[in-house]
Structure 1
Amino acid sequence: MTIAIVGAGMGGLMLARTLHLHGLHAVVYEREPSRDARGQGGMLDIHSGQQALREAGLFDRFLTIARREGQDMRLLEPDGTLLLQEDTPDDAPMLRPEVDRADLRALLLDSLPGGTVRWGHAYESAADGVLHFADGRSAPYDLLVGADGANSRVRALLTDARPEHLGQNAVEIGIPDIDRTHPELAAMVGRGNYWVLGDGKSLSAQRNGDGRVRIGLSFYHTGEDWFATSGIPFDDPAAARARLLELFAGWDARFTALIAACDDTIVPRSLTTLPVGLTWPSNPGVTLVGDAAHLMPAVGEGANQALLDGAVLGRALAAHPQDFATAVKEYETEMFERTGAAARMSARMQEMLMAPDAAERLLAFFQPR
């Protein structure tokens, strides 16, 4: 029985690892030409997903790449007022450690037998138990698992639902080797999460494992066409920095200094989400994991739910290796309930971020912790 996984993200790789532990073989088809073809993004807050890593026999190795100090939190207002500062003790439990997405992906990839991931296979379509790829190649399957992210093409086999714009657009910038190049800004950002909210915008800064600080500049209550009208010339980094500084005029000079210090990697991101509580009629030959199944606002749940998806589906398939229909239905029943609750929580957090008094609401949310 052939299990084909489309997409080598967290959910797809965790599924392949779980199946491997149970003696079941799967093939992961990934459109990227190699594991190092592109950067994998920033840091992940891994909390509930730790359970999946334990079950996969990867938790001890995860602890070697996780950053306890990534749990630090600083929350400020645009005028520089510090609302909250949480510094993690050296002996604090690793409840929500940060881990570099690239490191976690490498951990999962290295846990799989050679040849499990077939690079350079861009999924085009599937029909009658055959996968078709963009370059004309094909491959058979008995079960197809779409792990192909927010803009999943496999999703269309199960539902007409499509991601909808969240009313938030973001610009990602960064400062490389910040401890050496801008030690004063490094000290300001600290070791973990640095948030400034107000005026319908936010600035978030976060250290990466390679010494780079990734900075997200978010603009709330903006539409899908906002980048076209924002006046940010993304093809001219110096002019883009200047325009971003204009958009944050009036903010404390320490915050605008982060923008001024960024390098030439300036990336627009239009944020979308799938409907909260999305479900579909069970199909014994196709299912979804991760963002393909339940794309949520980027508030810390996506990667965790994807890891859990892979573990839960893998266990179900191991329990019913000759009955994919039962395994898929068992997985989807659990997944719909679990991720529906996570999506509702994420939507509430997104509402806080978009509120006029976002900083005060987040302060009230975090203080009991």
Structure 2
Amino acid sequence: MRLLVTSDAVGGVWEYTVELAHALARSGVEVIVACLGPPPSASQRAMIRPDEPLGADAQAGSVTLMETDLPLDWLCADAAPVLAAGQAIAALAAALDVDLVQLNMPTLAAAGPMPVPAIAVTHGCVGTWWEAARPGVPLARDYRWHSVLTATGLRAVDRVVAPSAAYGAIVQRRYGLADAPVTVHNGRSPLCLDKPDAPPGDLALTVGRLWDGVKNAALLDRVAARLPIPFLAAGAVRGPHGETVRLDHLRPLGQLSAAQLGSHLAQRPIFVSAARFEPFGLAVLEAAQAGCALVLSDTPTFRELWEEAALFVPLDAHGEDHAAWCDAIEALMLDAARRRDLAAAARDRAARYTPAATAARMLALYRELIAARPSASKVAA
């Protein structure tokens, strides 16, 4: 099977794509990753060609990177360049004679049907993000074109996939889809920990796009002011459109490499996410794999993924109840047994969310769609 997968190097979609591609290669799939938006860094490019072998039982698949110079939808000012990018991806799929296209940017499908079966994986979009960031406020006019393209693209593909059932329900409602997206949970390989058996550290950690209001870094900054332990924050404080967040009490670590993040997670801090909006949450999974106790916002996505394996804190209407977060974190600091039990439960739950499990579910979808609608060139051959 030859597969064309679109990706970008700006956020978590890159890690998702690389992990999925290598897991598919172990099943004999030839994966071509078409990168849109800003070019990947040297370390990101290196992820495409890992040093470790596929393994003796692996089939002879492959992963190839193509840097397309095509734009990323949410960095565009209007629909025209996104539609042009969609047409370019369709032409690329035909030229490469692939069996199926996986679009990790559903707006690309709005330009028209692909020459082969197509799956859209909805990792997040402007419309659903806006609902969480500005509840009750209509989508700004400047972003309405994006919502229209997303709706068109989701209807144009053969199947829509979401990384959680909770987010799939949001997408179905937002865009009026007749069928709910298929749920395929994300997978992640555990980060390398320099001290995997270290005792839990007296500190807290949050990871994410700190500039993004839905991640609630401002709330956690107020929490950090009251905690008797250091509260570290990894991630960018400035967004691509100039968004910023002021942090007076959180200790910013900046953008971390996988090795750097692994070093912090090896200290087994209490991991905290107060996100109001999270389609999946790879950072939470990484922390759980490292054996961190989790304190999470009480949202449908986090409940779906981490029920009985995390401590949940309700978000008030304005997401400003920092006292409840302080109480939850301090309670774990004072109760070593409970912290240990939660950490063990999180690690056990994380074992479900592997690249191999994600790839197996996606491969079944690929085969189903290819069998139902083989391309004209394949039929002719």
Normalized per residue, the structure richer in strand is: 1
Which TM-score tier does this pair reach, normalised by the shorter chain?
0.3 to 0.5
**TM-score normalized by the length of structure 2:** 0.33
